[in-house]
Amino acid sequence: MTLLAIESSCDESSAAVVQDGRVLSCPVSSQIKLHAEYGGVVPELAAREHLRNLPTVVRLALAEAGFPVTTLQAVAATRGPGLPAALLAGYKLAQGMSFSLGVPLYGIHHHEAHLYSPWVAGQPACADFAAFQPNVSLIVSGGHTLLVLVRAEGNHTILGATLDDAAGECFDKTAKILGLPYPGGPELDRLAREGDPKAFSFPRPLLHSDNHDFSFSGLKTSVRYLVRDRPDLLQQGSALRDLCASIQAAIVEVLVAKTLRAAHRCRVACITASGGVTCNSGLRTQLSAACQAAGVELRLASRALCTDNAAMVGLLAERKAKRGEWPDPIDAEVEPSWPLERICGAQPTSR
């Protein structure tokens, strides 16, 4: 099967051609520079930028893969959750292609796609996916912090989620308080490498709570008060690096400890991690060390595929198509608040 997938849930426009479990192309056009000026993603601008960039990434994906559009046997697009207007740009383009080519359209859940991103790198990708089920999967991005129990394909339970800020949001907001450029996560990560993670003691929210939820807004407030009382810290290079290292240590410790505890409680032998924050060097190192110590298999998405991309959307769609799942009806709409647990091989709403 040859399938074209489109991703446009937030600020990355991406298209990918997937054939029999292999990713043949996956160009991504990021809008980071556009939104940096505003210190965060502006939904209206994101949607306009998707409209401008998607035709280009689609053409590029087809050209790189060497397939004319008429050879496609299916199309797929992220249907939700995400920014409504951003989702519309990609999903409606896919719907138009599906209609004009006379091929099925698979609307994909963005988080379910992330669950597959640790398997994208293998060729054919996902070949050993079933061997690592059940697993506990950490999805950490600018918009989400989720712990998911993946029992089997299409069989997921959300164990916990953030009660307030997402982990990536916490990285970005604390970095902003420190005066670092948007998006702050990568910059904070870079400075943290030369800092002392024990220099400042920041709260580890819900670390010992008897659930799998997260909360990061208290940590952000704690950084804000410290900087308000000690603005001089931002003027000293070493203190700034120590601050970055200490903030990262607090976020990473909570993510790692709660993920390992969830895996232990669910008695799974495999953990996976994906989403933009999985690029974080501290998280990658410490999750690897903790999994090794606990004798748990770890599958991390490759850095290039942690952030949003159409390859993960295409691989998942192809698996659904091959399992005989129903494509979307031609009048389907995007689902900006689509809960992961409503997937289970079914359509989000009956229309």
Report the interface residues with Zn ion, using CB under 5 A. Answer: 141, 308
Is the preceding peptide bond at 327 cis, omega within 30 degrees of 0?
Answer: no
- Look up residue 329 and give its amino acid: P
Is the preceding peptide bond at 329 cis, omega within 30 degrees of 0?
Answer: no
The count of residues interacting with ligand KG4 (CB under 6 A) is: 19
Rounded to 5 degrees, φ, ψ at 82 are: 165, -170
Rounded to 5 degrees, φ, ψ at 129 are: -55, -45
CA dist., res. 167 & res. 305, Å (int): 18
CA dist., res. 46 & res. 37, Å (int): 13
Q: Say if strands 135-140 and 2-7 run parallel, antiparallel, or are unpaired.
A: unpaired
CB of 285 to ligand KG4, least distance (A): 12
Per partner kind, with CB cut-offs from 5 to 8 A, the member of Zn ion, ligand KG4, none near residue 145 is none
Q: Which 271-330 residues touch ligand KG4, going by CB under 6 A?
A: 275-277, 279-280, 307-308
Task: Specify the stretch interacting with ligand KG4 by CB under 6 A; choose among 56-64, 96-104, 180-188, 235-243.
Answer: 180-188
CB of 145 to Zn ion, least distance (A): 12
- Of the candidate residues 104, 143, 205, 348, the single one contacting ligand KG4 (CB under 6 A): 143
- Of the candidate residues 49, 112, 165, 172, the single one contacting ligand KG4 (CB under 6 A): 172
| Residues ≥6 apart with Cβ < 8 Å to 350 | none
- Of the candidate residues 90, 168, 195, 205, the single one contacting ligand KG4 (CB under 6 A): 168
Residue 266 carries which DSSP code?
A: H
The three-state secondary structure class of 164 is coil
Draw the binding track, 101-140, toward ligand KG4 (x: CB under 6 A; -: no contact). Answer: ----------------------------------------
* Nearer Cβ to Zn ion (177/312): 312
Task: Provide the binding-site residues for ligand KG4, judged by CB under 6 A.
Answer: 10, 141-143, 168, 171-172, 183-186, 189, 275-277, 279-280, 307-308
